[in-house]
Amino acid sequence: MYSVLDKDTMALEIVPYLPKTHRGFAPIVPLVEIVNAFLYKFKTDVQWHQLPVKALLDSEVLSWQSVYYHYRK
């Protein structure tokens, strides 16, 4: 897994400011891993459809559309 920041740093300084789900399903993947995918995208300036989600996420494999959905939210 590629790691841009430490998971503790992301969990303490970034994730609390993200909106929580009020309706619908909760995310399958922890928000820390989704934030890691955001930061990887911004650091490397790769296109959304070329995001290596299989290498970035540990547990469940999401598509780049799912990562982009969480970014837009």
Tens digit of pLDDT for each residue in 15-44?
888 877 777 777 778 888 888 888 889 989
Tens digit of pLDDT for each residue in 36-60?
888 889 989 999 999 888 887 776 6
Model-level pTM?
Answer: 0.77
DSSP 2-69: --SS-HHHHHHHTGGGSPPP-SSPPPSS-HHHHHHHHHHHHHHT--GGG--HHHH-SSSPPPHHHHHH
